Amino acid sequence: MNKRILICNRGEIAIRIAKAVSELGGTAIGFYTDFEKEPAHLEYCQEWIYLSGTTNLETYLNQDKIIELAQKSKADAIHPGYGFLSENPSFADKVKETGIIFIGPHAQAIHSMGDKAVSKKIAKDAGVPVVPGSVGKIDTINEAKDIAKNIAYPVLLKAVAGGGGKGMRVCNNDEELEKFFPAVQREAKSSFGNPDLLVEKYIVNPHHIEVQILANNKGDVFHLYERECSIQRRHQKVIEEAPSPFIGSDEKTRQNICETAVKLARHVQYDSAGTVEFIMGEDKSFYFLEMNTRIQVEHPITEEITNIDLMVNMIKSAFDMDLDFKSQEDIQIRGHAIELRICAEDSETMLPSPGMIENYDYELGKGIRFDHCLRPNREISSNFDPMVGKLVARGFDRSVAIRKVRNALNKLNILGLKTNIPLLKVILAEETFQAGQYTTFYIDKIKPQENLNLNITPQELLIHAIEKEIGLTN
């Protein structure tokens, strides 16, 4: 594939894209900016381009400037990664108008599935189960109360254009709904430029299950099974697993949810990599939540259990090339994979903690993968998401994957930067997580942040894990 691909992103995802482009024989073109003179991803790009500006609005969110630079560099395609402009239909349309390929779905799919009210209606029309609640946006508190009365409390107020856990609030009665309605509107307006809200039934003890989709321009849509993403703080994911330990050996439910995701993707004529997200109740009934029309942070665990390179095949799909597999039967689950998001965060407060990386070291054992953008003497800025890497382990089964990822985490040291590694160690050793019985309430109910022992050594943690596994301790 002798193509030139401009990567309009940064950090570990830009490195991931650049590696895939190089593997396919293409030329990866990366940006550097005024506030990142030598970003880590340029080591993996064949060409570098200066993107002027000192803010995200002036750089990675500047559509016209990026397209102008793509034309000057004679790029055949633009890959947006995730975040920034990856789910912006206007950007996808502008790219297409120039004759440059947008590596992602067509703009109409991005537009329709990016709006929670519109996507919910589309899902309903496609015969996909949706959470009971408002079909479209609601305009008044009284309207919200009427819906809440019909579906019964608790309900969830959520921004139509929301994401990343922002613009969401649980309400248990009319009084809370009256109190939170204007506050959620304000947050939605400030975060997304759109104050419109939905009201939905709040599912008790829910699981966040998502299905990976990969489609091409020929109308073929495939699923690569599900991921469990229920370990969250403030509705943002911390640990992901594939396949879901909650679904476990229930192949009927697995097949049902995966085929439902394919049905929705076909309905919107989807033609790239994407994720259909569901909320699953205690009885394994599931409802459509949203669709992410891009590659996901947690895509590596799906790659590990299917042995299919999602990034490579996403690029192949954009260029109308044959995918690495022929049919759904070619895609099988092999083993279990777990991903830990390594973030520059305070483990106790779980708030971002930017700073300078003095040095780091890690050890990659068999079945371990570490996608990261760590470099010595590099600053982790508050301008960007605090995630600096993704530690992934693949094992014969879940217990082996947990053992491997704990061992790898114990051998990961990042100096000079406060990270969430201590919190991750506590979660991995905690019995509810080990049993695979956690829900999206895990952080709030189990409160692993209150059990931190920041002085415990990696060797002590490993000894405890071994003793527990062979029954010497609880």
Tens of pLDDT, residue by residue over 284-316, are 999 999 999 999 999 999 999 999 999 999 999
Instruction: Residue count of the chain, please give it.
Output: 474
What are the tokens at 436? 């695979």
Contact call for residues 90 and 63 (beta carbons, < 8 A): yes
Contact call for residues 4 and 29 (beta carbons, < 8 A): yes
Residue located via tokens 């109360």: 145
Confidence of residue 193 (pLDDT cuts 50, 70, 90): confident
Confidence of residue 469 (pLDDT cuts 50, 70, 90): low
In the predicted model, is pLDDT for residue 468 greater than 70? no
Distances (CA, A) of 57 to 65, 84, 102: 11, 9, 20
Predicted local confidence at residue 474, as pLDDT: 43
Distance CA 286, CA 277 (A): 10
pLDDT one-digit tens code per residue, 367-415 = 999 999 999 999 999 889 999 999 999 999 999 999 999 999 999 999 9
Q: What is the CA radius of gyration of the chain?
A: 22
Determine whether 341 is an active site residue. no
List the domains of the chain with CATH numbers: 4-103 (3.40.50.20), 132-201 (3.30.1490.20), 207-469 (3.30.470.20)
403 phi/psi in degrees, rounded to 5: -60, -45
In the predicted model, is pLDDT for residue 462 greater than 80? no
Predicted local confidence at residue 460, as pLDDT: 53
Distance CA 79, CA 311 (A): 10
Contact call for residues 79 and 315 (beta carbons, < 8 A): yes
Catalytic-labelled residue, pool 4, 169, 233, 294: 294
Lowest mean pLDDT among 28-32, 68-72, 210-214, 470-474: 470-474
pLDDT one-digit tens code per residue, 56-82 = 999 999 999 999 999 999 999 999 999
In the predicted model, is pLDDT for residue 466 greater than 80? no
